[in-house]
Chain A
Amino acid sequence: MRHPAQGRLTPTAGLGLGVSLLWLSLAVGLPVAAVVVTSFGNGPASFVAEVTSPEALATIRLTVGAAVLTTAVNAVAGTLIAWVLVRDEFRGKRLVEVIIDIPFALPTIVAGLVLISLYGPASPFGIDLVGTRRGVFLALLFVTLPFVVRSVQPVLMDLDRDVEEAAASLGAEGPAIFRRIILPTIAPAVLAGSALAFARALGEYGSVILISANLVGRTEVSSSYILKRIEEGEAAAAASVATLLLAVAVGVLLVLDLLQRRAARHG
């Protein structure tokens, strides 16, 4: 609904655009460029050497592995929770809706404290996950919980029930209906939510540090390693691992963009 005359920059809009671009360059562009340039400052060989140093490599393995695992669990659990929230009726559903949003609203360090008080040394159930990889995994599951739920939920709500009922009247069973009719419709939303969860898990810091106890080579995540290196004044080492994380984040954004374009074309 755009008027043909619209779209040309007026002088005021041009000024606004200039100011916005300047601000974005100072706040995002230049800092991102600084990270990339610093990591390649001594040539690509030094970048490779930095990201493959034993400690860096161990953090990258753990971070990527945990992120992949977290994403997989989220894709299933998130879809299940969204399904129950949309299709099931029970008392206290509004409360559950609020609880689902807590991981997003809670400051990450508070999330860390929250997890450590139930799954830490003072655990009322005697489950102590401090300093274990399972603890890291748990923290990542906590902070990424809402992504898939919140991206699948609206799609499930808009889903036309007629097709399901038609399939059922033709004798299709529940699982078949889910696989053949529902899953293809919600798949883009599941993927989009999973991609966001993956990006988040990859860069997570605040919720992880308390429960991971930052054990080098065992539970140290990449973001924690980057912070340690920059504090020691080893900018190139920090920037190299940061560049790797950045590259993956940009990759995820591109995939997301592609998926949304495809969904927009088909729908």
Chain B
Amino acid sequence: MAELRIDPGRPVPPRGGAAARWTLRTLALGYVLALVALPVATVTRRTFAGGPSLVLASLADPDLHAAARLGVLVATVSVLINTVFGVGVSILLVRYRFPGRRLLNAVIDLPVSISPVVVGIALVLVYGNSGWLGRYLEAIGVTVVFATPGIVLATVIVALPLVVREVVPVLEEAGTDQDQAAASLGATAWQRFVRITLPTIRWALAYGVVLSLARSLGEFGAVRVVSGSVAGESQTLTLFVNDSYQEFGPAAQQSAFTAAFLLMVVSVAFIVLIAWLRPGGPDSPRGPGSRPGPSSRPGPGKERS
């Protein structure tokens, strides 16, 4: 069973020479430093450049509070929807065979590969007030686009595959032997789900949920199209960052940097949490089907049928 963690005791290869190794290391670290580490450090410095009193003053902004509340609400609802949907679809994809299974598998992956702006305008074309379904929804008094339901829908879509892609490999690895043994002993489907399936997938599920949460809190493009971004009303935290920055004026700038800094702290906390849930983390008995990062998700049709 391949251990995916870097083993610090592994000997450095004898070949290549110290000079080559130093060159490669300098190049790689220099690139990461200039591209990510330095900018992140600079934004932190910028946020606190005017002293802590300015940061505290900008934290008292009621629009910031409203944006944070809406952002958290939207992220929570979206993650709940994606968790229930993700577990359900994963079980369907792994344990059942039905026509259109491969298509379903591919459609789930589509949202991460398309532009968030395209997701947004697609929703406007269907659920906007003159959209395919929107005109009928409007007639019965339901507003989706430029209201919270639209923001939730956009957020759900951009994070759609994250739970499924974590849970599917673990379910495949686990097989159905235990499940069938339990069934033959008279366990109901619900008992088998709660006692067998759920404990099997819990770490993968936790990982998927954290990934979805990070994505949902940070979504900007898709939300930007469907929200209308009215301060205190339909503005999420990411929209607040953008609108404040565009406003210019020192107070608005400070607000933008404060909100951005908050989001940055939350994202780094998520990365640390993800690293901890990752295989090789302190308490994560995840098998070789798991992968090291949020990035290396398998594409559609990865499982061999």
Contacts and interface: CB of A to CB of B under 8 A. Distances in A.
A3 B300 contact: no
A113 interface: yes
B263 to A, nearest CB: 5
Given A30-B126, A110-B43, A257-B299, 20 more contacts: A1-B176, A6-B96, A13-B95, A28-B107, A98-B272, A98-B275, A99-B32, A101-B275, A102-B36, A106-B267, A145-B35, A147-B295, A154-B296, A157-B2, A168-B14, A205-B116, A206-B221, A230-B121, A246-B114, A246-B118
Contacts of B295: 104, 146-147, 149-151, 193, 196
B88 A16 contact: yes
A257 B300 contact: yes
A101 B274 CA distance: 10
Q: Is the interface of B mostly helix, strand, loop or mixed?
A: helix
A167 to B, nearest CB: 9
B267 A87 contact: no
Nearest to A105: B267
Nearest to B71: A107
A151 to B, nearest CB: 4
A8 interface: yes
Given A96-B29, A223-B115, A119 B39 contact: yes
A204 B114 CA distance: 9
A115 B36 CA distance: 8
Interface size class of A (residues with CB under 8 A): 35 or more
Interface of B: 2, 4, 6, 8, 12-17, 20-21, 24-25, 27-29, 31-32, 35-40, 42-43, 46, 85, 88-89, 91-92, 95-98, 100, 104, 106-111, 113-126, 131-133, 153, 156-157, 160, 175-177, 180, 189, 214, 217-221, 224-225, 237-239, 241-242, 245, 256-257, 260, 263-264, 267-268, 270-272, 274-275, 291-296, 298-302, 304
B8 A154 contact: no
A249 interface: yes
A45 interface: no
Given A6-B95, A30-B133, A87-B12, A107 B217 contact: yes
Interface string A32-50: 1011001000000000000
Contacts of A138: 35
Contacts of A89: 8, 12
Q: Mostly helix, strand, loop or mixed at chain A's interface?
A: helix
Contacts of B264: 106, 110, 114
